[in-house]
Structure 1
Amino acid sequence: MAGAGNPYMRGLFAPVREETTAYELAVTGRIPEELDGRYVRNGPNPLGVDDPAAYHWFSGDGMLHGLRLRGGRAEWYRSRWVRSDAMALRLGEKILHGPRHLDMDFAPNTHVTRFAGRLLALVEGGALPYELDADLETVGPFDFAGTLPGGLAAHTTVDPDTDELHCVAYCWAWPYVQYLVAGTDGRIRRRVDIPVDGRPMMHDFSLTERHVLLYDLPVVFNPGGVGVGPSFPYVWEPGRPARLGVLPREGAASDVRWLEIDPCFVFHPMNAYETEDGSGLITVHLVRYDRLFTKGRTGPDGSPPALERWTVDLRAGRVRRERVDDRPVELPRVDPRRLTLPHRYGYAVLESGAADVRVAHFPGIERVGAGLVKYDLERGTSEVRRFAPQGGVGEAVFVPAGPDTAEDDGWLMAYVFDPDRDATDLVVLDARDFSGEPVARVHLPVRVPVGFHGAWIPDRE
């Protein structure tokens, strides 16, 4: 595919052109025996683009990249496109058919999660998630047994206490914002319609033990856009108020408390929790942009992202901001057992905007993962683990060593590009020895393009 003028069509972002299956992959180091399951990451990988120069990175067909670990071995690596109807036709395969929302037909490209025994590929904007089998083959679109009122969301949170799934769904075509809760039976049991003005992009949300945080910010869908594809622009809307909504989990739409904040955009919160001292404060760590989508139409642009701590004071009706790190970071994660609860540690990708990271090898790409950062939020310290200067470090997923181990007792997994091989490794780090040598490097036979989010899917939970 020609796309010399579009940075998201070349270098580390360039799509791969075929699916790959490989068995018994080579490993440097030792894969911990406790790692029994699959690491799966989703991301855009268009099979065909009519106008590469106008290609919008967020609109690429979703491709899953999965690695099966068992018994200290890397049994297989698979890359698979999600088979929407359009993708199946392009591949010359039988159309799976299934439910749709507003006739949207899109291969989800943003995240992957397991819920109620199903592996789901996720995307935002009103499209349905797609179910996958254990080998990453597409089962078909999934509507929660007919109970999903519209689309789902790119980001969901499974409450570690109840095992229920929570999300904030929105739709660009028929504007709505919905807080949804799915029970462990895989059916939507709760829906709250949240009135908002216009078409805000609400990529993620935050969940605490008692509240839902809603990010209504100045990035919106351009009404001139016609849908998922090259003409699918996000824009910064000057003058649009920025506000944080606080909804009690069991509250109605009228119970949302809206708090004004400075204009900004938030793609990804790290975690949120209620302060334990009885003050009624909510603490949320998140990655904040001063402005975003102000220039280009092919991918994110704007101010560098930075990790902040917001303290939400409902009694005073205000949000206090504190900068945690001035370095450009994104894709924050925590131990999944600490979601909605106080946590000490967090992890993020260090982006290539850092002054000592060289990206001249891929001109035009401003933000490529160049390393990982581990935060000790209790002590206010951090460690950095750098990789090749060309970048190519993906989101780090934390995997606990066991169900009852300490918060930092486990491993971090991330796809990391190896320029010497022109291919990607799955790097496994000991979270307690963050700066040390990786526990293991699994050598994939191909490059995994820069993508979005992943998950560890254990065989036993």
Structure 2
Amino acid sequence: MEVGGMTDDGGTTGTKDANPWTGGLFAPVREEVTALDLPVTGRIPDALRGRYLRNGPNPLCVQDAGNAAGHQWFAGEGMVHGVRLRDGRAAWYRNRWVRSDAVARQLGEKVLHGPRHLVDFAPNTHVQQFAGHLLTLVEGGALPYELDSELDTVGPFDFHGTLPGGFAAHTVVDPARGELHAVAYCPAWPYVQYLVAGTDGCVRHHTDVPVEGRPMMHDFSLTARHVLLYDLPVVFSAGSGPSGNAFGWDPGRPARLGVLPREGGPDEVRWLETDPCFVFHTANAHEDDGVITVHLVRHERWPDGPGTGRPAHLERWTVDPAAGTVRRERLDDRPVELPRVDPRRLTAGHRYAYAVHERTGGDRTGFGRGLLKYDLARGTCEEYPVPPDGDVGEGVFVPAAPGAAEDDGWVLAYAYDPGRAASDLLVIAAGDFAAGPVARVHLPVRVPVGAHGNWIPDAV
């Protein structure tokens, strides 16, 4: 195994910090690492041929006490962590900062060429392969940045000159047509923008939907016919963007759900009232006979920091646009976040969902206490817990084959191993979830608490 760069995390792991976003397992790593031929416990399935990639904030300069005191996690520059699997082996692990202009300058490198928008920022929230481009994503007005197959930055990406503004943190690739859907917003805009990119990598459709009060719309939902817009009481203040933290709860703002036809204009949005809440992440949505079913995670209000928010729960919303109603049903009393489904089931009915059993309470140095698998047809849930001092991030489902059953595949996630003071990539068989990993890929470093990722299969 070859390792380039230091593996020390600065001694922050497991320690207290005046700012909880910069201590414990949230603490950033300081070096880029390349490790080859990683050790594995168990057996990596031969069908897993590709890269598991996950993005997350990893600020360059919070080691300075003055910067750390006011730092908010969402403001950290993006770093992508990846593991390459093939032929039953873990060929490599890499972590790389996304080279925005500011990151390149801080690292003493040449600024990359490419388009710019209102804000230039190293996207820190998601990573998505689309139309031959590997894109890192963030909301709030910035462009995506493209990476190559080894996670080095190619440059900013504006969908071949067709993106009318900034982009979004969350996207849905429609399995039926292969098109990419997103809802973008910017605190400077008096609207949110629904975007559709064709399989040629160009934006073919966009609709500007007027909204007031600068709402934060981190996620959205997509069915075969409609887009759902979550206009809720979390708002931005003037001058904020992806590199800032100027957002919070507005108790006087109504909560409403917008139902927009996919090819419709802004005057075709049907706004439905709902209870005050915040929806950070949705799992999936589908519709049948005009009634839309959504599975999502609902926060009663916006958390102000680690351990300060009220627990969020998995819910099923039944939306009837004709009747003008939104009916809520809580499905589990456990605090959860980061829900995912089989990507082949997006916009259609699904039976299974996966989520992180979230840590709560005042001592919150990490994020996840376990991974959950929900059987929504039976109303049951299985859990794979991690050790009390461990941690686990978002679980991503990978089907065993294109035509495999909905839970015939594996769930991949990064998990912190306190015994090694480093992270593993877990490979869990979805059909035998509670049994735990069939393989653990042992990384040489800690992967900090992060945001979202995807499995990028090798081209057939």
Cα-to-partner distance string for 1:29-78 (whole Å, 9 max, x where unaligned): 00000000000000000011352111010000000000000100000000
| Aligned match for 1:266, one of 269, 275, 279 | 279
Cα gap change, 1:56 to 1:299, in 2 (>3 Å): farther
**312-321 vs 167-176, greater mean Cα deviation:** 167-176
Residue number in structure 2 paired with 1:286: 296
3-state SS of paired residue (1:86): helix
Residue number in structure 2 paired with 1:356: none
Report the alpha carbon displacement of residue 299 of structure 1 after superposing the two structures with TM: 6.2
Please list every run of at least 4 consecutive aligned residues from structure 1 whose deviation after the TM superposition is greater than 2 angstroms: 1-4, 173-176, 225-229, 298-302
CA distance in 2, matches of 1:236, 1:385: 33
CA distance in 2, matches of 1:43, 1:392: 15
Residue number in structure 2 paired with 1:91: 107
3-state SS of paired residue (2:172): strand
Instruction: Write the letter of the residue equivalent to 1:284.
Output: V
Residue number in structure 1 paired with 2:330: 323
Instruction: Write the letter of the residue equivalent to 1:105.
Output: D
Instruction: Write the letter of the residue equivalent to 2:349.
Output: P
Report the alpha carbon displacement of residue 226 of structure 1 after superposing the two structures with TM: 4.5
Residue number in structure 1 paired with 2:5: none
Residue number in structure 2 paired with 1:190: 205
Residue number in structure 2 paired with 1:243: 256
**2:397 counterpart of 1:398:** yes
CA distance in 2, matches of 1:62, 1:300: 23
Question: 8 Å contact 2:258–2:269 — kept in the other structure?
Answer: yes
Q: Report matched runs for 1:428-443 at 5 Å.
A: 428-443=427-442
Instruction: Write the letter of the residue equivalent to 1:380.
Output: G
Residue number in structure 1 paired with 2:31: 18
Instruction: Write the letter of the residue equivalent to 1:324.
Output: L
Instruction: Write the letter of the residue equivalent to 1:210.
Output: R
Residue number in structure 2 paired with 1:152: 167
CA distance in 2, matches of 1:246, 1:331: 23
Question: 8 Å contact 1:124–1:154 — kept in the other structure?
Answer: yes
Cα-to-partner distance string for 1:414-444 (whole Å, 9 max, x where unaligned): 0000000000000000000001141100000
Q: TM-score, normalized by length of structure 1?
A: 0.94
Residue number in structure 1 paired with 2:7: none
Instruction: Write the letter of the residue equivalent to 2:270.
Output: R
Cα-to-partner distance string for 1:216-269 (whole Å, 9 max, x where unaligned): 00000022x54444x522110111010000001111111100000000000101
Residue number in structure 2 paired with 1:127: 142
Cα gap change, 1:414 to 1:190, in 2 (>3 Å): same
**2:97 counterpart of 1:81:** yes
Residue number in structure 2 paired with 1:43: 56
Cα gap change, 1:273 to 1:300, in 2 (>3 Å): farther
CA distance in 2, matches of 1:248, 1:69: 40
Question: 8 Å contact 2:258–2:271 — kept in the other structure?
Answer: yes
Report the alpha carbon displacement of residue 91 of structure 1 after superposing the two structures with TM: 0.5
Question: 8 Å contact 1:42–1:65 — kept in the other structure?
Answer: yes
3-state SS of paired residue (1:285): strand
3-state SS of paired residue (1:269): strand
CA distance in 2, matches of 1:304, 1:4: 23
Instruction: Write the letter of the residue equivalent to 2:295.
Output: H
**46-55 vs 334-343, greater mean Cα deviation:** 46-55
Cα gap change, 1:228 to 1:154, in 2 (>3 Å): closer
Report the alpha carbon displacement of residue 315 of structure 1 after superposing the two structures with TM: 1.9
Residue number in structure 1 paired with 2:154: 139
Instruction: Write the letter of the residue equivalent to 2:88.
Output: G
3-state SS of paired residue (2:122): coil
Report the alpha carbon displacement of residue 101 of structure 1 after superposing the two structures with TM: 1.1
CA distance in 2, matches of 1:386, 1:69: 24
Unaligned runs of 5+ in 1: 354-358
Question: 8 Å contact 1:56–1:233 — kept in the other structure?
Answer: no
Cα gap change, 1:133 to 1:330, in 2 (>3 Å): same
Instruction: Write the letter of the residue equivalent to 1:74.
Output: A
Q: TM-score, normalized by length of structure 2?
A: 0.94
Question: 8 Å contact 2:209–2:266 — kept in the other structure?
Answer: yes
Instruction: Write the letter of the residue equivalent to 1:84.
Output: S
3-state SS of paired residue (2:104): helix
User: How high is the sequence identity, in percent, across the aligned residues?
Assistant: 68
Instruction: Write the letter of the residue equivalent to 1:452.
Output: A
Instruction: Write the letter of the residue equivalent to 1:196.
Output: V
CA distance in 2, matches of 1:367, 1:216: 29
3-state SS of paired residue (1:28): strand
CA distance in 2, matches of 1:235, 1:272: 27
Cα gap change, 1:300 to 1:268, in 2 (>3 Å): farther
Instruction: Write the letter of the residue equivalent to 1:41.
Output: R
Report the alpha carbon displacement of residue 403 of structure 1 after superposing the two structures with TM: 0.3
Question: 8 Å contact 1:345–1:375 — kept in the other structure?
Answer: yes
| Number of aligned residues | 444
**45-54 vs 112-121, greater mean Cα deviation:** 45-54
